[in-house]
Amino acid sequence: AYNFCAGPAILPTEVLQQAREEMLDWRGTGMSVMEMSHRSGEFVAIAKEAERDLRDLAGVSDDYAVLFMQGGASSQFATVPLNLLGDKSSADYINTGIWSKKAIAEASRFADVNVAASSEADGFTTVPDQSVWHTNPDAAYLHYTPNETIGGLEYDFIPESGSVPLVADMSSTILSRPLDISRFGLIYAGAQKNIGPSGLVVVIIRKDLLGQARAQTPTMLNYQVIADNDSMYNTPATYSWYLAGLVFKWLKARGGVQAMGEINRRKADKLYGYIDASDFYANPIEPRFRSWMNVPFTLADDSLNSAFLKGAEERGLLNLKGHRTVGGMRASIYNAMPEDGIDALIDYMQTFEKERA
């Protein structure tokens, strides 16, 4: 079966197989990783290796701390302003879809949010050109959502933010291709697309941005505290961290983000190419901003949706139903989706179109 789910936990089959083999007895220790003390030599080694592999893969220099936190990406919507506002009161946000809006709503509880640009009037089918953004040079940071998982909208550029730290919610695009980390002040990513199980959230933060959390910031949300304690201030999500480490090894063995980027581009080009060539399927996003990871599409006749989904499931093409707020279909094609999965989907779409159009 091919799982086109947008999340949680799209793990490569090989990783799940390895986890199964190691589940009861990790390398002769007589214990599952789940049962190890997080302070044990074995677990600390697993945790450190995962961090090292992530640094290698993503090209994260020593100028940045890498934190393995909990509470998903949604908890970061509050954690970011609590930590980064410092003595400022305002932050800039770009609104390109449902996840941007959630980040904006939560940040508004702590900061004067300036929505510097929005594509809401265009139905979130495009990214506003940076020349029309009304950013504030005195903002504490500039936040954007490089890939809108629900709308299937993805920036094809990294915004210029001058001396204002750039903050990105990379939940559904991290590790999908090479990225210049040095352009960012902070990146956060809920793990459950390209990294590992849900609940875990990875934060990559430039070290000079640590240490300015507001006094009332909960200890567990204070980046400095988490960094000082190697992400083990409390009991971390040990098993998720271990699984993330297996995913990082899997990625490295396949040529890392460079190779992944080429494969992901091919996968996306093929699927959008087919959608565009067909009169039966459609995708509304301006081509240059189409997501490589989440491909929403509609059928010419909405009343065929359930038949489409039923036939897909019978062929082992799972979770193609679009998000409830958008409707239609959505194929999420993260790193773990092999190219064969795209071929199988297109083959089914063609057959369905022939039968029903």
Q: How far is the CB of 61 from ligand PLP (least distance, A)?
A: 25
Closest by CA to 11, choosing from 164, 183, 200, is 200
Q: Is 235 annotated as a binding residue?
A: yes
Q: How far is the CB of 170 from ligand PLP (least distance, A)?
A: 8
For residues 145 and 222, which CB has a smaller minimum distance to ligand PLP in the complex?
A: 145
Q: Is 17 annotated as a binding residue?
A: no
Q: Is 73 annotated as a binding residue?
A: yes
The binder of ligand PLP chosen from 190, 196, 245, 341 (CB under 6 A): 190
* Burial of 28 from C-beta contacts in 10 A (0-12 / 13-18 / 19+): exposed
User: In this structure, are strands 90-95 and 112-118 parallel, antiparallel, or unpaired?
Assistant: parallel
Q: Is 254 annotated as a binding residue?
A: no
Q: How many residues make contact with ligand PLP (CB under 6 A)?
A: 12
Give the x/- contact pattern for ligand PLP in 159-188, rule: CB under 6 A.
----------x-xx----------------
- Contacts of residue 137, defined as CB under 8 A and 6 or more positions apart, other chains included, come to 162, 163, 164
> In the annotation, is 208 catalytic?
no
Q: How far is the CB of 311 from ligand PLP (least distance, A)?
A: 26
Q: Do the beta carbons of residue 334 and residue 293 sit within 8 Å? A: yes
For residues 143 and 349, which CB has a smaller minimum distance to ligand PLP in the complex?
A: 143
Token pair recorded at residue 273: 């190419």
Catalytic residue among 26, 92, 133, 193: 193
| Distance (Å, whole) CA 269 – CA 249 | 27
Q: Dihedral (C-alpha) 166, 171, 172, 175: value to the nearest 10 degrees?
A: 80
| Distance (Å, whole) CA 127 – CA 82 | 27
**Residue 99 near ligand PLP by CB under 6 A:** yes
**Residue 341 near ligand PLP by CB under 6 A:** no
**Residue 32 near ligand PLP by CB under 6 A:** no
**Residue 73 near ligand PLP by CB under 6 A:** yes
Token pair recorded at residue 319: 């979770």
**Residue 353 near ligand PLP by CB under 6 A:** no
Q: Is 75 annotated as a binding residue?
A: no
Neighbouring CB atoms inside 10 A of 212's CB total 17
Concatenate the DSSP letters of all residues of 212-265 into one string. Answer: ---TTS-GGG-HHHHHHTTT-SS---HHHHHHHHHHHHHHHHTTHHHHHHHHHH
**Residue 145 near ligand PLP by CB under 6 A:** yes
Q: Is 99 annotated as a binding residue?
A: yes
**Residue 152 near ligand PLP by CB under 6 A:** no
Catalytic residue among 53, 92, 99, 133: 99
**Residue 72 near ligand PLP by CB under 6 A:** yes
> In the annotation, is 193 catalytic?
yes
> In the annotation, is 99 catalytic?
yes
Query: Can you give 71-106 as a three-state secondary structure string?
Result: CHHHHHHHHHHHHHCCCCCEEEEEECCHHHHHHHHH
3-state class (DSSP) for residue 194: coil
| Distance (Å, whole) CA 267 – CA 258 | 14
Region 192-211 residues binding ligand PLP, contact defined as CB under 6 A: 198
Q: How far is the CB of 208 from ligand PLP (least distance, A)?
A: 25
Binding site for L-glutamate, residues?
39
Binding site for pyridoxal 5'-phosphate, residues?
73-74, 99, 149, 169, 192, 234-235
Q: Which residues of the shown chain bind ligand PLP in the complex (CB under 6 A)?
A: 7, 72-74, 99, 145, 149, 169, 171-172, 190, 198
Supply the residues annotated as catalytic: 99, 169, 193
